[in-house]
Chains A and B, each alone.
Chain A
């Protein structure tokens, strides 16, 4: 049956359905130009990374200080 269907399609009497892969209209997409950097994007990426690192290191130092503070308070309560 498949062979017969293939033969009928070759004769142009049965059209194969179009491929199901997604395709976007050329009016809305543009090819990325990797030769000219998107400096805004690069700057935002580096700036966000720096801000995130600063936030992370600050948070860690605050956590350490808070832990030491609570440990000292707990020990002092024991000795009082």
Chain B
């Protein structure tokens, strides 16, 4: 199973600062605050890893949501009878 299919590149890419990036970067950073795990280099490294993983996860999530939306709108387009506004 491909992580990011080619058609996901037709979607607008998420900004570098998005909820996944910020949250996972923060999670990576906060693990290395108190001794004995402390260390600025570790905080920077794992915040970076969190941002990296978060960015790609958000890209995949946006692709999945867009795919579901596309299938939904295609279904609505093919079944107009079922989606008429109710009269009366």
Contacts and interface: CB of A to CB of B under 8 A. Distances in A.
B41 A41 contact: yes
Interface string A52-78: 110111011001101100100000000
Nearest to A68: B12
A32 B55 CA distance: 34
A32 B36 CA distance: 9
A59 B9 CA distance: 11
Task: Describe A's contact surface by its main secondary structure.
Answer: helix
Interface of A: 32, 34, 41-42, 45-46, 48-49, 52-53, 55-57, 59-60, 63-64, 66-67, 70
Task: Describe B's contact surface by its main secondary structure.
Answer: helix
A45 B52 contact: no
Given A32-B36, A57-B16, A67-B12, 15 more contacts: A42-B41, A45-B44, A45-B45, A46-B41, A48-B45, A49-B45, A49-B48, A52-B48, A52-B49, A52-B52, A56-B55, A59-B55, A60-B13, A67-B13, A70-B9
